[in-house]
Structure 1
Amino acid sequence: MGYEVSVVIPTFNRLEVLAEVLQALEHQQGAPPFEVVVVDDGSTDGTSRWLRSRTFRLPLRVLTQENRGPAAARNTGVAVAQGEWVAFLGDDTVPDGGWLAAHREVHRRQGDALQTAVIGYTRWHHRMRLNPFLRYINEYGLQFGYALIQDPDDVPFNFFYTSNLSLRRDLLLAEPFDLRFPYPAWEDIEVAWR
């Protein structure tokens, strides 16, 4: 079966939350044909074993690699993705039921342009321990600066967060994530800047 979208999820030691992410993906409504590619980036909590022992109600591929960071894990996922589009989710980002359909609709409205990336609102997962300050910036959209976006159809590159993002796969094949960013910080914004 041909997939329109490949959902790529890099993960590292977040099995409990990742299970919720996958359950939410099983219940997507109105979504285009999609597959899920989970790239286990060297987890030590049994993530790969658990994923392979389960049956999911969606096409799921599990890849494992030594811990090289989220940039490398995303590049691995993009390399094997079969969809024309790639949608990234964080392993702690539980999507709403219409998440993928909403991303696809924006791409359609934009005419499926090569350079179009769609970002979605990201909030910390409810299990994350948040001090009062982090809870405040999470609840009011300040964590990722969403309140600063003036034109939702022309968002600057510094809002290119791979916790909830979609774009054409061929763009990422031509401009992969820079492996010199071994930690989950700025590797996504850097690829958007290029």
Structure 2
Amino acid sequence: MTVDPVASIVVPSFCGADRLPQLLDSLAAQQEGTPPFEVIVVVDGVDDGSVALLENETRLDLRSIVFPENCGRVAALNAGFEAARGDVLIRCDDDLLPGTNYVARHVDAHRDGPGGVIGLYLNEYSNTPYAEVYGRDADERFRLDAYSAAPSVAWRYWAGNCSVTREVWETVGPYDPEYRLYGWEDVDYGYRIHATGFEIRLAPEIETPHRVAAVTTAIRARRASHSGAARRLFERKHAQSGLPNAVPGWSLWNALVRGLSRVPLNPARLAGVVDALLRFLPRGVGRKLVALSVESAALGGYRSPHSAKENF
């Protein structure tokens, strides 16, 4: 007899054949007593072996949706959520490593009524110079800032490990397809949940290991550029959201960020030079150069969103 799922896990996946096995292993190892759940993996237009892998998965109540061409993460999320049957809808990126109580804790987090719940990433880095001088420290600062932020701005942390009840999804509607570059489609969705009047909260018990993809300054700077461009779109749509100014105030450091943001070069190329130097520089100097690369790339993308698109 088929049991209706209590929860639906939606996994957008692009070229995920190397990441999906560990995710599926983790989901198949959920603890005894976990509420019934289904997994919906949306393969976003490139079959690198993912389709066969999913077809051979027998441990899970799993369905796959395969796009004939790359449509982007927003389209993948919307397709997955529209196909979901559960009452608790969980967004789970394909590079997460959920614990054995992952599903149960997401379901329990909604016992008090409809709303949105966020589990922050526990980023796992390979031992690159970027991770050693900047990435791990930046991740720790991000999480400390998130947990100390006012509940009214929790929506800013909506990302790849989160869940809503079906009532929230049906009220707020799908993710916004105008977001095509990296970033801000999640923040946009979190803000729309908040603006509709539903509570969003961070749940420390749902923190989940995440195999981070930004393992070099070049990758991080490129993503920062795309994110800066996407922020411009967010601000156009939600001018009342109360975000702090994207353009930094005046200081010597901010003058450097402002100046470098105007250099008409691909930010990843500039950051690649920093990557090449990190092994030879004192840790503090390296950290400053990475920060300068990332912050200036974000500001450059914000100021020139069309340039960020060209570098996508």
Q: TM-score w.r.t. structure 2 length?
A: 0.55
In the alignment, is the contact (CA less than 8 A) between 2:125 and 2:131 conserved in 1? no
Residue 135 of structure 1: how far off its partner (Å):
3.0
- What stretches of structure 2 of length at least 5 have no aligned partner? 193-312
Ranked by relative contact order (alpha carbons within 8 Å, sequence separation 6 or more), the top structure is 1
Distance in 1 of aligned mates of 2:123 and 2:42: 21
Residue 123 of structure 1: how far off its partner (Å):
2.6
Distance in 2 of aligned mates of 1:95 and 1:188: 20
In the alignment, is the contact (CA less than 8 A) between 1:21 and 1:93 conserved in 2? yes
In the alignment, is the contact (CA less than 8 A) between 1:4 and 1:34 conserved in 2? yes
Going from structure 1 to structure 2, the CA distance change for 1:119 and 1:78 (only over 3 Å counts) comes to same
| Structure 1 equivalent of residue 121 of structure 2 | 122
In the alignment, is the contact (CA less than 8 A) between 2:4 and 2:36 conserved in 1? yes
| Structure 2 equivalent of residue 106 of structure 1 | 109
Q: Which amino acid aligns with 1:33?
A: P
Residue 157 of structure 1: how far off its partner (Å):
0.8
| Structure 1 equivalent of residue 13 of structure 2 | 11
Q: Which amino acid aligns with 2:162?
A: L
Q: Percent identity?
A: 30
| Structure 2 equivalent of residue 25 of structure 1 | 27
In the alignment, is the contact (CA less than 8 A) between 1:69 and 1:184 conserved in 2? no
Q: TM-score w.r.t. structure 1 length?
A: 0.85
Residue 128 of structure 1: how far off its partner (Å):
9.2
In the alignment, is the contact (CA less than 8 A) between 2:125 and 2:136 conserved in 1? no
| Structure 1 equivalent of residue 63 of structure 2 | 61
Alignment counterpart, residue 158 of structure 1, candidates 156, 159, 172: 156
Distance in 2 of aligned mates of 1:128 and 1:77: 34
Q: Which structure dedicates a bigger proportion of its chain to helix? A: 2
Distance in 2 of aligned mates of 1:58 and 1:122: 24
Residue 86 of structure 1: how far off its partner (Å):
0.5
User: RMSD between aligned alpha carbons?
Assistant: 2.2
Count the aligned residue pairs: 184
Distance in 1 of aligned mates of 2:100 and 2:143: 21
1:44-59 matches, within 5 Å, as: 44-52=47-55, 54-59=56-61
Distance in 1 of aligned mates of 2:119 and 2:186: 14
Going from structure 1 to structure 2, the CA distance change for 1:12 and 1:125 (only over 3 Å counts) comes to farther
Alignment counterpart, residue 176 of structure 1, candidates 174, 177, 199: 174
Q: Which amino acid aligns with 1:150?
A: S
| Structure 1 equivalent of residue 295 of structure 2 | none
